[in-house]
Structure 1
Amino acid sequence: MKHLFLFGVMLFSYALQAQNIKGVVNDENGKPLQEVLIRNLNSKTHAHSDNYGKFIVENSNLNDSLEVSKQGFVTQRVKVDHTDSFSITLNEKPFLLEEVTITNTLKYLNTISKIDLEIQPISNSQDLMRKVPGLFIGQHAGGGKAEQIFLRGFDCDHGTDISVSVDGMPVNMVSHAHGQGYADLHFVIPETVDNIDFDKGSYFADKGDFTTAGYIGFNTKKALDKSSVSFEIGQFDTFRTVALFNLLNKENQSAYFAGEYMMTDGYFDAPQNFNRINLFGKYAAKLNSGDKLAISLSHFTSKWDASGQIPDRAVNDGSISHFGAIDSNEGGNTSRTNLNLQYDSKIDEVSQIKNTAFISKYDFELYSNFTFYLNDPVNGDQIKQKDNRTIVGFQSEYDRKLNDKWNFKLGAGLRNDNNKDVELSHTLNRSTVLEYLSLGNVNQTNLYSYTGLEFISGKWLINPGLRFDYLKFNYEDQLAPELGNQAQTKAIVSPKLNFLYTQNNTLQYFLKLGKGFHSNDARVVIVQKAQEILPESYGADLGINWKPFPRMIINSAIWYLYLAQEFVYVGDEAVVEPSGKTERKGFDFGFRYQLTNWLFWNTDYTYTHARAIDESKGNDYLPLAPVNTLTSGLSVKDLKGFSGSLRTRFLGDRPANEDNSVVAKGYCITDFSVNYQIKKVSIGLNIDNIFDTKWKETQFLTESRLANETDPVEEIHFTAGTPFNARLILKYSW
């Protein structure tokens, strides 16, 4: 009895001493740091700081030692000398690749994007897309039109086979006037982007329409470190200014505003008269309940003229220059206004619900002339494509940690596009409609649900998932003799299964399997009476993530992708039409190496073998499908105030038609940037195409006829890539 009493006294005494230690971690500027690891070296307990830098370490006593660490900061040891909440300040240190470890997570490629963003900051909206290894873009309409996207042997047009989102809000446009899946990312101010979530293939249940080649999710910052104003002046009458104002940065609230204005005449013979205005505001808060709220509002508008795609023969005979135009009356205007709400509700310690709701108002008007005088020898073949829509949608996802081995996810959402007077017409001088080729109202709804499990046992992670999509297509043809709404519905089920084996923190193997799809244009769906209008894809990735040395990371995969229906660009009609089944197989290789504390080397290479399945050998090439792509570069970070990079991108020759008798020539371009930071001021220089290489950014095999020709000619038509283009940037931060 006596011993039992003594034991009770000791236990009671320990309980009085052992308690929870609370604190907050900030950087040198007083900004809260999240995801900081705080380890009690005595009790072996640990905690992570939240979005506001706060942490609670359980079972801690006076005189215990805490180790506080975060990648990119100097690790500190702190002795617990009082029980009140205390503040810890971490000092930044040079970025070290050796601190990046391979963890048991399916989305390890996000680590690669974090590294690239750390050592190669984004300088323009085009760089946003190029942060995805193996992804190439091409602009062919004066900078105002969405870029053409190439990934894993896909000519994705402007987004048909890659889904793009910003803060959970979809960017792709269904049944768009210019092309299915059209994804114009220019409403995003690059300086507001915090991180990039991406992966290749269709292996994740929460990703739906257009996720065949892969997906990209951009997330904007919740708060600003500081306010800043920058001015950029360059060749070709280029001017850009960006202002970011930190309006509120309290413990549980933050708000900021960002604005961008850009203008340029471009490097073409005919001035592009391009201008763009971007406005963005965001408010974020953490409520007393632990719930998180973020509201953002943005507005974007852009106008431009374009030189379009020009034929080889006109350049070769000296009629126009490499930067000339046949019809300089091309161009357009577009705008988008977005309201986005994100609300994360904490149910308990092991479960939460993530909610996203959005509404967008979008306008688009594009004038193009791909064939010149082929169809109308008198007035020319200029066309107008017009889109005017409202998009509303939401998604809710329930996440629960069932136990140490099982995690469960269940989500559902809705998206509706109401597109009034979507138009394709034959026009003259942007002012006169000569003939309506297509005119109608589109109303399209996508209702979906998905679920997934993560089972973790030892070194294994197994992730099965299932997605269900129901789509309803409504189209009212205003050119039909009798007006009437036509409707079709279609549903598709997409299973996923992923395996991950993490041998240790330097080596990981993965196998990803999944079914995806891209939807067809509603006008096509109605004509085909909902037959074969949700072409499915089946893919597999087998690869490794490996750190053979502390400062080297290699990620590599062999992959296969089958697509039930391919889209092919038809130049003389300026449309994309479906064709047969295709398959792609290839190899991805990524390499990151830190040579010194301030010098980095990165390389990404992709090889793709892309073919049509139902065509005879030799006539089964996929037009414009990339075969070899390579990006490589050296980057300097924080060398006595200097940062910069020298980056090269290579796109090899690729077939321009089905029998490969016409080749779209590849290119190799090198860009350079340097920046010097002194206190609150930074001065930078960006140079595109530092070696002034003459190249073709986009190419199509098109049949056209010039004004002085009697017969049409089919040949390569191209848009010239940027020549040597230097821009000086001055930035002030406070």
Structure 2
Amino acid sequence: MISDWLKIGFKSFFGMILMFSSFTGFGHELRGKIYDSSQNPVAGVGVYNETTEAFTYSGINGYFEFDSISVNDVLYFYSLGFRTTSRKIAAEDLDSSVAIVLEEAPVSLEQIVLISKLDAFSRMVRIDTEQNPVRSSQEVLRRVPGLLIGQHAGGGKAEQLFLRGFDLDHGTDISISVDDMPVNMVSHAHGQGYADLHFLIPETLDKLDFEKGPYKAEYGNFATAGNVAIKTKKKIDRNKITLEAGDFNTLRMVGLMKILETANTQAYVASEGVLTDGYFTSPQNFNRLNLMGNFLFSKEGESLRLAASHFQSRWDASGQIPQRAVDQGIIGRFGSIDDTEGGMTSRTNLWMNHYKSIDDHQSVKTSAYVTAYDFELYSNFTFFLEDPVNGDQIRQKEDRLILGAKSVYSKKIHTADEDSHAELDLGTGFRYDKVSDVELSRTRNRRETLDNLALGQIDEFNGFAFANLEYRLGKWTFNPALRADYFSFQYENELTETYDLQRKTKLFLAPKLNILHAFSPDFQAYAKTGFGFHSNDTRVVIAN
């Protein structure tokens, strides 16, 4: 029954693609490109024909077109960060190409027009981040409506996340990425989907997109409750040095410096250092160092970005404490039972983003990344319950290498109807994690290993492909999509006397459908449905 339903879905989906691909336009045309005051193409600009109520959006190279246009039609151009401008169509504009230059302006809600756009909520969040700059990676995530976070391990550990009724743990049910590089860790020593965003320097934040639910085909593993896609700045306008100081020996230093600027290239470096003892009885001795370098080459119809970053952190933690110990006066509210908790971690990233415009209707985006990561965490959840002599402290540890890439082909399909058009995205990619010496051990005072409970090697591969069709008809938007994910899980147990290597594979298909209707420029309604998933830890998959 399910296989028959999937076959029907496949046929209907690709039938729609072929149908839209066969349409051609009639009447007078208008083509154009949209630039900022520095002659850089501006993507995502809304172009609205007030006369006919037709609309479109500029592509990454700033290109837009209308297949049917008439003299005296009035076009409006609107985008966040730019002053809304208008143009009345004259006879000489018909069947021609025009250049539109937008003037920069403070971000405001007036720059948002709701015309069946899938990312309307993200645009509102961008206003918030523009007007209220963030000062920490925690603040970045707090800008997502309904996303709550909590820290319970000294500031160096990934935050606990909650989203509209979901306890996401440290990222099990929310996909987080930075410049198309995943933050979540599969089969992590501490927890599945562990997402430590502390390698992000907040001042480099450029854009924050999010989606609640599993409704975007581009995002697969962990995108069940939602996804957060962070984009960092490709270039900076000016150099910046910041020094902040506060109570508890807190010190934060940030620097952004432009090191190259020509007609086609931009480069900058950024750094962040944080020190604090925290407000606990036992000092946290917390330190964090972030370094980042970014290079951008761009020309008409093509751009290449190369970036690298390094993050390292160390901290002590007072951990969780029993209320009865505070009530009996054994410790204070900010005291501890085991103040040898804490840990250290580091992450080094190298990533690339490339965009190529094939023509005015087709483009290809490619991203690739390499990450070297290590993690060591000491925790004590039950104090002396299991071992009254040595205590119940545990160590979770791993070393990891991640390789991944993704390519997306996009094609704009213009139809005979001036008030409708479609856009097709076809994407494919992979992610490979090699986790060495992933460990769970009983320890004492962070110095002595008492017993190895688990120790092994993990190799996990995820290959994926997706098709996404966005068809706009008047004030309606129909967005069917299909995603396929293939997983290979492999685990070698290093605690057995004999060689023990096991492997399993899984395949998951996820159809999705979004429908939107813009009743007015101020009111939009939508209905969404789809399948999503999070993978299980490799060790759990092998055991079951």
Aligned partner of 2:155 among 140, 143, 152: 143
Paired residues of 1:52 and 1:251 also in contact (CA < 8 A) = no
Aligned partner of 1:175 among 179, 187, 203: 187
Instruction: Encode CA deviations 1:647-670: one digit per residue, 9 max, x unaligned.
Output: xxxxxxxxxxxxxxxxxxxxxxxx
Cα distance, 1:324–1:481 mapped onto 2, change above 3 Å: same
Aligned partner of 2:225 among 213, 225, 230: 213
Structure 1, 157-166 or 448-457: larger mean CA deviation: 448-457
1:90 is displaced (CA, Å) by: 3.2
Paired residues of 1:34 and 1:48 also in contact (CA < 8 A) = no
* Alignment match, 1:340: 351
* Alignment match, 1:488: 504
* Alignment match, 1:298: 309
* Alignment match, 2:277: 265
The structure whose residues are more often strand, as a share, is: 1
Paired residues of 2:33 and 2:100 also in contact (CA < 8 A) = no
* Alignment match, 1:397: 408
Cα distance, 1:51–1:461 mapped onto 2, change above 3 Å: closer
1:51 is displaced (CA, Å) by: 7.2
1:277 is displaced (CA, Å) by: 0.4
Q: For residue 221 of structure 2, give the secondary structure of its aligned residue in structure 1.
A: coil
CA distance in 1, matches of 2:42, 2:124: 20
* Alignment match, 2:524: 508
* Alignment match, 1:111: 123
* Alignment match, 1:572: none
1:462 has 2:478 as partner? yes
Q: For residue 242 of structure 2, give the secondary structure of its aligned residue in structure 1.
A: strand
CA distance in 2, matches of 1:48, 1:214: 25
Instruction: Encode CA deviations 1:297-330: one digit per residue, 9 max, x unaligned.
Output: 0000000000011111111111111111100000
Paired residues of 2:264 and 2:299 also in contact (CA < 8 A) = yes
Q: CA RMSD in A?
A: 3.4
1:25 is displaced (CA, Å) by: 3.5
Paired residues of 1:52 and 1:252 also in contact (CA < 8 A) = no
1:225 has 2:237 as partner? yes
**TM-score (normalised: structure 2):** 0.84
Q: For residue 471 of structure 2, give the secondary structure of its aligned residue in structure 1.
A: strand
* Alignment match, 2:167: 155
1:310 has 2:333 as partner? no
CA distance in 1, matches of 2:405, 2:476: 33
Q: For residue 294 of structure 1, give the secondary structure of its aligned residue in structure 2.
A: strand
Alignment of 1:24-103 (within 5 A): 25-26=36-37, 34-35=42-43, 71-74=80-83, 90=103, 92=105, 95-103=107-115
Cα distance, 1:459–1:54 mapped onto 2, change above 3 Å: closer
Q: For residue 407 of structure 2, give the secondary structure of its aligned residue in structure 1.
A: strand
Paired residues of 2:486 and 2:508 also in contact (CA < 8 A) = yes
Instruction: Encode CA deviations 1:378-398: one digit per residue, 9 max, x unaligned.
Output: 111111000101000111111
1:375 has 2:383 as partner? no
CA distance in 1, matches of 2:467, 2:65: 32
Cα distance, 1:221–1:428 mapped onto 2, change above 3 Å: same
Paired residues of 2:394 and 2:441 also in contact (CA < 8 A) = yes
Q: For residue 409 of structure 2, give the secondary structure of its aligned residue in structure 1.
A: strand
Q: For residue 310 of structure 1, give the secondary structure of its aligned residue in structure 2.
A: coil
Cα distance, 1:408–1:460 mapped onto 2, change above 3 Å: same
CA distance in 2, matches of 1:261, 1:520: 35
Any gaps of 5 or more consecutive residues in structure 2? 1-29, 68-73, 91-97, 416-420
1:96 is displaced (CA, Å) by: 3.6
* Alignment match, 1:281: 293
* Alignment match, 1:422: 438
Aligned partner of 2:137 among 111, 119, 125: 125
Cα distance, 1:281–1:56 mapped onto 2, change above 3 Å: farther
1:401 is displaced (CA, Å) by: 1.4
* Alignment match, 2:468: 452
1:273 is displaced (CA, Å) by: 0.3
Runs (4+) off by over 4 Å: 19-24, 30-33, 35-41, 44-58, 65-80, 85-89
CA distance in 2, matches of 1:73, 1:307: 48
Paired residues of 2:36 and 2:104 also in contact (CA < 8 A) = no
CA distance in 2, matches of 1:37, 1:527: 52
CA distance in 2, matches of 1:443, 1:232: 42
1:234 has 2:246 as partner? yes
* Alignment match, 2:363: 352
Q: For residue 402 of structure 1, give the secondary structure of its aligned residue in structure 2.
A: strand
Aligned partner of 1:441 among 453, 457, 470: 457
Cα distance, 1:315–1:253 mapped onto 2, change above 3 Å: same
Identity percentage of aligned residues: 48
The amino acid of 1:468's aligned partner reads A
1:520 has 2:536 as partner? yes
Any gaps of 5 or more consecutive residues in structure 1? 1-18, 59-64, 529-734
Aligned partner of 2:395 among 363, 368, 384: 384
Paired residues of 1:25 and 1:54 also in contact (CA < 8 A) = no
Q: For residue 516 of structure 1, give the secondary structure of its aligned residue in structure 2.
A: coil
1:241 is displaced (CA, Å) by: 0.5
CA distance in 1, matches of 2:80, 2:127: 11
Cα distance, 1:451–1:399 mapped onto 2, change above 3 Å: same
Task: Please identify the structure whose Cα radius of gyration is greater.
Answer: 1
1:448 is displaced (CA, Å) by: 1.0
1:24 is displaced (CA, Å) by: 5.5
Cα distance, 1:246–1:446 mapped onto 2, change above 3 Å: same
Cα distance, 1:56–1:246 mapped onto 2, change above 3 Å: farther
1:134 has 2:141 as partner? no
* Alignment match, 1:679: none
1:57 is displaced (CA, Å) by: 12
CA distance in 2, matches of 1:267, 1:316: 20
The amino acid of 2:121's aligned partner reads L
Q: For residue 356 of structure 1, give the secondary structure of its aligned residue in structure 2.
A: strand
Q: For residue 198 of structure 2, give the secondary structure of its aligned residue in structure 1.
A: coil
Instruction: Encode CA deviations 1:251-278: one digit per residue, 9 max, x unaligned.
Output: 3221111000000001111100000000
Aligned partner of 2:489 among 459, 464, 473: 473
CA distance in 2, matches of 1:22, 1:492: 40
The amino acid of 1:453's aligned partner reads L
Instruction: Encode CA deviations 1:227-266: one digit per residue, 9 max, x unaligned.
Output: 1000110111100010001122333221111000000001
Q: For residue 117 of structure 1, give the secondary structure of its aligned residue in structure 2.
A: helix
Q: For residue 111 of structure 1, give the secondary structure of its aligned residue in structure 2.
A: helix
Cα distance, 1:24–1:368 mapped onto 2, change above 3 Å: closer
* Alignment match, 2:336: 325
Cα distance, 1:71–1:440 mapped onto 2, change above 3 Å: closer
Cα distance, 1:104–1:142 mapped onto 2, change above 3 Å: same
Q: For residue 517 of structure 1, give the secondary structure of its aligned residue in structure 2.
A: coil
Q: For residue 487 of structure 2, give the secondary structure of its aligned residue in structure 1.
A: strand
Paired residues of 2:395 and 2:441 also in contact (CA < 8 A) = yes
Cα distance, 1:428–1:400 mapped onto 2, change above 3 Å: same
Instruction: Encode CA deviations 1:363-413: one digit per residue, 9 max, x unaligned.
Output: 000011111111111111111000101000111111111224332111111
User: Which structure carries more relative contact order (alpha carbon 8 Å, separation 6+)?
Assistant: 2
